[in-house]
């Protein structure tokens, strides 16, 4: 197959080669209507700029993919990156691991860097907090750059690999209810995150399948980062009497759970004697927390492996493939941070 060049794109779009080059390099010198026409032509022709062109016939050429995680210090993401690496290496690809450090601008710059260099495709744990924009993801789609998301992003039809968050949280809450807990709250993550919304839905569904009544005040927005979770936990409990304490807290993730446990210790609230704690992710040090953590085990390496499989399949395809969405199951791991309140 003859490889398309920017000359072909320019001819189809009725513009100069320099104008196409300016669009590819995200310069502001091109009128929006012209830019959109060029991007549409790229999509129709399945054209990929030279920096991301597939030249797989050259066996001596280095092949690499990228992964943009949110936090290099959080083992959940490093375990996913390990799964990506293991599969990619088996297919002859190197993996470049970077971190947006939970900063949307960093994610945007890294995705542009990867797509403009000879990185064949990218796996992204997207930033969805605050006023994060998704224009950079639209641009990746428009230039047919292969990428896989580790979370659904509203408005983007893309390859996604995730866990069944609704079912996971529902399982954890039903476990608590069945063991005598009636005053349960959910410390939720970032409001814009699809993971947050799915976990809230799972929490609500658990109550609908038992005899207890769900109330909106059972959902407390705490965030996912350690410092924010710690301070908001202190704030939540500071004006409550002991009789108003929940008997159990279901946390957004294990990092939040650690912050909650640390805050409770500072408040002289005992885990699990006073309050049971459930985490989410089962990162490798969850079992060595001050109190070993009951948590939802996500198949982290499998997430990475599946994402790499989809990405490389798209990279090596000479036709545009339809988006894939893979949802993986979880397992509830019972440890010492939860206790049974009934004798049944």
Claim to verify: residue 150 and residue 222 sit in the same structural domain: no
245: its two tokens: 């304490």
Kindly tell me the number of DSSP H helices and DSSP E strands found in the chain.
11, 12
Strand partners, 159: 148
Per-residue pLDDT, 253: 95
**CATH of residue 306:** 3.40.50.2300
318 in a domain, yes or no? yes
CA dist., res. 338 & res. 253, Å (int)? 16
Q: Are residues 217 and 150 in the same domain?
A: no
Based on the fold, state whether residues 128 and 118 are members of the same structural domain: yes
Phi/psi of residue 162, each to 5°?
Answer: -150, 180
pLDDT given for residue 132 in this prediction: 61
Q: Which uninterrupted H or E stretch holds 142?
A: helix 135-142
Per-residue pLDDT, 52: 44
Residue 122 lies in a domain: yes
Indicate whether 256 and 285 sit together in one domain. Answer: yes
The answer to whether the CB of 280 falls within 8 A of the CB of 30 is no
Residue 216 pLDDT: 94
Side-chain half-sphere CA neighbours of 242 within 13 A: 6
CB 131 within 8 A of CB 105: no
pLDDT (tens digit, 9 = 90+) per residue, 54-77? 444 444 457 999 999 998 888 999
String of DSSP letters for 87-100: HHHHTT-EEEEEE-
- 287 in the same domain as 170: yes
Torsion of CA 289, 205, 223, 249, to 10 degrees: -40
In this structure, the answer to whether residues 126 and 177 fall within a common structural domain is no
CATH assignment of the domain containing 20: 1.10.260.40
Q: Looking at the structure, do residues 36 and 93 belong to the same domain, yes or no?
A: no
Indicate if 219 and 318 belong to the same structural domain. Answer: no
pLDDT tens-digit map of 230-289: 999 999 999 899 999 999 999 999 999 999 999 999 999 999 999 999 999 999 999 999
Residue span of the structural domain in which 92 resides? 61-162+300-328
Show the CA angle centred on residue 167, arms to residues 179 and 132, nearest 5°.
Answer: 120
Q: How many CA atoms lie within 13 A of 283 on its CB side?
A: 18
| pLDDT-above-70 percentage for the chain | 93
Same domain, 280 and 227: yes
Q: Is residue 35 part of a domain?
A: yes
Q: How far apart are CA 127 and CA 102, in angstroms?
A: 6
Q: Are residues 80 and 195 both part of a single domain?
A: no
Is position 67 within any domain? yes
CA distance 313 to 319: 11
**pLDDT reported for residue 57:** 42
| Span 296-330, pLDDT tens digits | 999 999 999 999 999 999 999 888 889 999 999 99
Q: What pLDDT is recorded for position 2?
A: 56
Distances (CA, A) of 140 to 16, 204, 251: 22, 36, 33
Question: Has residue 6 got a pLDDT over 70?
Answer: yes
User: In this structure, is residue 154 part of a structural domain?
Assistant: yes
Give the burial class of 174: count Cβ atoms within 10 A of its Cβ; 0-12 exposed, 13-18 middle, 19 or more buried: middle
Give first-to-last CA distance, the chain, whole Å.
69
22-58 pLDDT tens trace:
887 767 788 888 888 888 888 788 787 655 444 444 4
- Please determine, for residue 192, whether its predicted confidence score (pLDDT) is greater than 90: no
Residue 136 lies in a domain: yes
Structural domain total, the chain: 3
Report the chain's mean pLDDT, rounded to a whole number: 89
* Residue 143 shares a structural domain with residue 25: no
**Statement to judge: residues 182 and 143 lie in one domain:** no
Looking at the domain assignment, is residue 56 inside a domain? no
> Mean pLDDT throughout 212-235?
94
Contact 293, 284 (CB under 8 A): no
């Amino acid at each position: 197959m003859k490889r398309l060049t920017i000359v072909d794109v320019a001819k189809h779009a009725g513009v100069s080669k320099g104008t196409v080059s300016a669009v590819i390099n995200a310069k502001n010198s091109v009128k929006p209507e012209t830019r959109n026409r060029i991007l549409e032509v790229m999509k129709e022709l399945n054209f990929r700029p030279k920096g991301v062109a597939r030249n797989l016939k050259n066996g001596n050429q280095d092949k690499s993919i990228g992964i943009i995680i949110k936090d290099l210090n959080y083992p959940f993401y490093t375990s996913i990156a390990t799964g990506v690496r293991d599969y990619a290496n088996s297919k002859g690809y190197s993996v470049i691991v970077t971190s947006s450090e939970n900063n949307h601008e960093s994610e945007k710059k890294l995705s542009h860097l990867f797509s403009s260099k000879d990185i064949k495709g990218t796996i992204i744990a997207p930033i969805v907090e605050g006023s994060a924009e998704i224009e950079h993801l639209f641009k990746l789609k428009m230039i047919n750059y292969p990428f896989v998301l580790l979370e659904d992003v509203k408005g983007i039809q893309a390859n996604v690999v995730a866990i069944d968050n609704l079912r996971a949280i529902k399982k954890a809450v039903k476990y608590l209810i069945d063991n005598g807990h009636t005053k349960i709250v959910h410390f939720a993550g970032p409001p814009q995150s699809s993971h947050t919304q799915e976990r809230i839905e799972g929490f609500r569904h658990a109550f609908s399948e038992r005899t207890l009544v769900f109330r909106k005040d059972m959902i407390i927005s705490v965030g996912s980062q350690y410092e924010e979770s710690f301070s908001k936990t202190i704030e939540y409990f500071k004006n409550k009497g002991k009789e108003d304490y929940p008997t159990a807290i279901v946390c957004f993730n294990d990092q939040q759970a650690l912050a909650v446990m640390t805050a409770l210790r500072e408040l002289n609230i005992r885990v699990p004697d006073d309050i049971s704690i459930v985490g989410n992710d089962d990162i490798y040090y969850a079992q060595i927390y001050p109190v070993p953590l009951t948590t939802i085990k996500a198949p982290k390496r499998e997430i990475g492996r599946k994402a790499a499989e989809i990405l490389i399949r798209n990279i090596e395809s000479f036709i545009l493939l339809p988006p894939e969405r893979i949802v993986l199951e979880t397992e509830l791991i019972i440890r010492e941070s939860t206790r049974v309140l009934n004798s049944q």
